[in-house]
A and B are shown apart, each in its own frame.
Chain A
Amino acid sequence: MSTYFLLAILLLGFIITFQIAKASEYVGILKGEKKNNEQNNRINGFLMIIFLVLGLIGVYVCNEVFKARILGKSASDHGEKIDLMMSITIVITGIVFIITQVLLFWFAFKYQYSEKRKGYYFPHNNQLELIWTVVPAIALTVLVGFGLRYWFQITGEAPKNAALIEITGKQFNWIYRYPGKDEVFGKKYYKNINDAENNSLGLLWDDEKSHDDIVVSSAMVLVVNQPVKLIINSRDVIHDVGIVAFRMKMDAVPGTPTTMWFTPKYTTEEMKKMTNNPDFEYEISCDQMCGKGHFSMKGIIQVVTAEEFVLWRAKQVPNYVLVMKDKMPAAATDSVKTAVVTGAAGKLVAAK
């Protein structure tokens, strides 16, 4: 009912506007074209300057209202570079924005039609044109310089001590794989994927390196202050690993693995305190449209201390063991498990 009411009001609004518009056209004809044009010019010239003032106030208010809700503290080293770069760009473009918009509306207001004046015949001026070719070019060179410096640092080789983790997107969730004690991922082939038999990545059991690989889908666990290199895969369509708190993003492309690396700086617990948000979580959002569940394709990252990580790792059972448990007695699998735990602890000691 309220919908029809709303439509009726809208229709009424149209009719009233239309009647006013028609009436003002007749009034304009009666007043004479010249007088009518003068009046229109005054009104619109005045609106130009009002728009400029209100607009600039609006920008300020918008900043005040939203500054607490955007770009919280960056939780990775790369993120800090990106935030700095963002600030530099905001300052440079902000200056240009204000100058050009003020000039635009000010000129429009100041040089509105007057019978006494004539347009100034000023077809070109090489010096002026040179200035506004060169100045933007210099400003942009500065921005490109900063940008590319950071770009190569962020996309460059990961440090040697970086932990390797594989992340695979599928409609509509994420799967994480840790290489196990041998620190090497076992081979996989997509035709071996079998969700019913617990082989969600299609690992090849003929390759012994796959036997200690840990596959989890609840959350990705990272060690604070240790660089991590993600190897990004997709099982079906293109997804994208986006982690806002780290300011990182990389597509997951089926058939073509991609990588990204960064160093988390704060544990999840620390972030909860720093953001005053007890519900804070590092979220992985899918940032490349992947189908009907795209908006809900969320992954969780837990950043923990090295000690907590060892404990977590100890509780994980390799994918191979999970699969084989159904097929053969459990006796043989215990030894694998112990080996994994020792391996993980050993690696962390080496990393320190």
Chain B
Amino acid sequence: MSTDLSIHEHGEAVVAHDLHDAGHEAHHHKETFITKYVFSQDHKMICKQFLITGMIWAILGGLMSVLFRLQLGYPDSTFPWLEDIMGKWAKGGKIQPEAYYALITMHGTVLVFFVLTGGLSGTFANFLIPLQIGARDMASPFLNMLSYWFFWMASVVMITSLFIETGPASGGWTSYPPLSALGDASVGSQAGMDFWIAAMALFVVSSLLGGLNYITTILNMRTKGMSMTRLPLTIWALFFTAILGVLSFPVLLSGLILLLFDRHGGTSFYLSDIFISSTQKPLPNEGGSPILFQHLFWFLGHPEVYIIILPAMGLVSEVMAINSRKPIFGYMAMIGSLFAITILAFLVWAHHMFVTGLNPFLGSVFVLLTLLIAVPSAIKVFNWLTTLWRGNIRFTPAMLFAIGFVSMFISGGLTGVFLGNSTLDIHLHDTYFIVAHFHIVMGVSAFMGMFCGVYHWFPKMYGRYLNNTMAYIHFWVTFAGAYLIFWPMHYEGLAGMPRRYLDYSGWSSFNQFVELNRFISTVAMIVFAVQIMFVFNFFYSIFKGRKVTTQNPWQANTLEWTTPIRPGHGNWPGEIPEVHRWAYDYGKDGAKDGKDFILQTEPLGADEQHH
């Protein structure tokens, strides 16, 4: 493998094909079906495993939301087919309260942890870190494999809990004790809660194995010339995400272990002064504080929302620069703001607890720190806007989702300014305002970022393109639909309509939104149907999509586009390329052959300055 064969932008299909074969020779080891597709240690295969598992979870989690939106939109109707699929949980074709609460609990848990953490970080950290820093694989491919299989085990335990007799956990995705600790207070807090805790423990293990690996790889395995300040923003975002996860998930685990002790060990960490109405018996536990759990939970819970959104920010930054044919504006400021968000993420958790009886002075400190986060967030938004300014924008599906991400992030971020201010939080806490806020800012936005990533890197993953027409339909329906679903919820929240109610007809304060709820439910079902179309497009295109014929279809600068079209294990057939510049030389004068981009592997010209 001589260096003159190592590829820059002259990625003709034939050359790439040759290199591909050569690559297999260079890293020849016997691969069986099991080692290639199941217990694979290739980061690219593990990425696909995370992605597809995440997609299965997303369909399930989305389906749950369709079911409970059915109840919210049509509280007076019965649907006999529901009883066919849900049995006693939908007696007479009506979702029972226990089932409703189980559905919203599982919807939250699944989407937050299994889709937007496992599915998003797991997919793109695995795929992009080695490819974009110029490494053959993760620091420890074996731990990486374990990370997926712990995720898989967590998934199995969580799915199993859906089928046990007393149903899955139903105390909300936050699983606040005492409700989650006492089986007599809620059926979902019986065996379902133990399954939930076990699944979450496995999930935390997976997340830690993955995170440590990502950090180690980024710090130690960058190719020659790839200094930290030449890394693409995707890597910076995934790096900070991993740090957040490693530092905060253990705290959640410890909180859950104490919960397990309270449930089965007779301890009183969270329990005190409790008299159970259903059994007419007082509990012996005294002296515990349920608020302790909330502190432990939100010490993860708040960084968790940044664990979800940072990777999306990274993906969007990268895709936006490529498709605007301009450098990302304010590269250093983008890193700085990611860093600021990472630090502040650990200092704001109690803003979820303004109305728990928290000391008002402590509350005021958290108000200050919380609203401080708006500053780095604003920097990012303005930098994205400036990246678009005077660009030459190509509306690839990935770019559309990147623009959609920014729009959603603005809308959701601004409502955060309401909720972070404790005075307003008194009124808005636990209403539909917060439901609208977090669905827009971390639900829809993160999904936009994830779709952006999938559409952009699908050609690298599978050597084929996704179908464009379906992609455009997918984007516009999802984008418009998400606004139609969540924008009106703000008004319900301003009216004080509480979340986690299955029927508002008994309330004179909240029954004015019957038609609105029906409207939201209808749109939600349409949007869900379009996601199914995306899943279909995904699997269809893996086998039948248009083939990628050039090595660098998006004319991007980063290293993954210097690998063969279908890279083997080890990524580069020959030497790993050396890096000479940052990742954002788009539209710069001095690019050769009439191109408007300069690959990171291109040596600096005589008159060029180091970046």
Contacts and interface: CB of A to CB of B under 8 A. Distances in A.
A312 interface: no
Interface string B128-158: 0000000000000000000000000000000
Contact of A196 (B280, B395, B418, B479): B280
Nearest to B333: A129
Contact of A279 (B473, B492, B508, B516): B508
Nearest to B512: A69
Q: Chain A: interface residue count, which band?
A: 35 or more
B364 A148 contact: yes
Interface stretch (B44-52, B112-120, B241-249, B286-294): B286-294
Interface string A8-47: 0010011001101110110011000000010011011101
B37 interface: no
A122 B389 CA distance: 9
Nearest to A63: B491
A66 B589 CA distance: 53
A140 B371 contact: yes
Nearest to B325: A119
A133 B379 contact: yes
A60 to B, nearest CB: 12
A289 B172 contact: yes
Interface in A281-329: 281, 283, 285-296, 298
Nearest to B287: A255
B426 interface: yes
Most buried by B among A29, A71, A123, A170: A123
Nearest to A116: B392
Interface in A183-241: 190-191, 193, 195-196, 202, 232, 235-238, 240
B393 A111 contact: yes
Contacts of B227: none
Among A24, A283, A285, which residue has the most Cβ atoms of chain B within 10 A? A285
Given A143-B421, A152-B364, A236-B277, A14 B533 contact: yes
A330 interface: no
A280 to B, nearest CB: 7
A51 B480 contact: yes
B605 interface: no
B503 interface: yes
Interface in A240-298: 240, 242, 244-245, 247-251, 253-259, 277, 279-281, 283, 285-296, 298
B176 interface: yes
Given A150-B423, A277-B508, A171 B185 contact: yes
B289 A171 contact: no
A104 B406 contact: yes
A33 to B, nearest CB: 10
Interface stretch (A92-100, A158-166, A332-340, A342-350): A92-100
A59 interface: yes
A195 B280 contact: yes
A258 B272 CA distance: 15
B326 A132 contact: no
A296 B506 contact: yes
Contacts of A49: none
B390 A25 contact: no
Nearest to B181: A237
B467 A22 contact: yes
A254 B274 contact: yes
B500 interface: yes
Interface string B422-441: 11101101110000000000
B507 A144 contact: no
A143 to B, nearest CB: 6
Contacts of A89: 417-418, 421, 424
Nearest to A108: B403
A25 B274 contact: no
A254 B278 contact: no
B371 A289 contact: no
A120 B390 contact: yes
B355 A247 contact: no
Interface string A40-76: 1101110110010001001100100010011100000
Per CB-CB distance, the 3 closest pairs between chain A and chain B, nearest first, are A255-B272, A119-B587, A258-B357
Interface of B: 79, 81, 96-98, 101, 171-172, 176, 178-179, 182, 185-187, 271-278, 280, 282, 286-291, 324-333, 355-357, 360, 363-364, 367-368, 371-372, 374-375, 378-379, 381-383, 385-386, 388-395, 400, 403, 406-407, 410-411, 414-415, 417-418, 421-424, 426-427, 429-431, 467-470, 472-473, 476, 479-480, 483, 487-488, 491-492, 494-496, 498, 500-504, 506-510, 512-513, 516, 529, 532-533, 536-537, 540, 546, 584, 586-589, 596
8 contacts: A40-B472, A101-B411, A125-B330, A140-B372, A237-B178, A247-B496, A249-B430, A287-B429
